[in-house]
């Protein structure tokens, strides 16, 4: 990372090149900081997806839910 004082002493083309390097260093630093957040979000996303799949495949949990589903299907005209 080039400091402002160092950049002032450089020739114009070299100074532009050094500023680009500084910008890229900053971007890389921010991306590295995001890596942990992205990994945590990905883990949470997979866990939520698995929980939703498990919930859908488990069916009604008690008799009231079963009755509610049964009568809803009766109203819609579907058979069980």
- C-beta neighbour count of 58 within 10 angstroms: 8
Q: How much is the pLDDT for 55?
A: 74
Q: What's the pTM?
A: 0.49
Average pLDDT across the chain, whole number:
81
Which H or E run includes 56? Answer: helix 12-58
Under a CB-based contact definition with an 8 Å cutoff, are residues 18 and 2 in contact? yes
Q: How much is the pLDDT for 8?
A: 87
* Residue bearing the bigger pLDDT, 67 or 13: 13
Over residues 18-24, the mean pLDDT reads 93
Decide if pLDDT at 57 tops 60: yes
């Amino acid at each position: 990372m080039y400091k402002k004082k160092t950049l002032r002493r450089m020739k114009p083309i070299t100074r532009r090149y050094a500023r680009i390097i500084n910008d890229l260093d900053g971007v890389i630093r921010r991306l590295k900081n995001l890596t942990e957040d992205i990994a945590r979000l990905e883990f949470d996303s997979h866990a939520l997806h698995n929980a939703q799949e498990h919930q859908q495949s488990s069916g009604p949990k008690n008799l009231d839910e079963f009755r509610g589903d049964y009568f809803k299907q009766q109203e819609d005209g579907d058979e069980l």
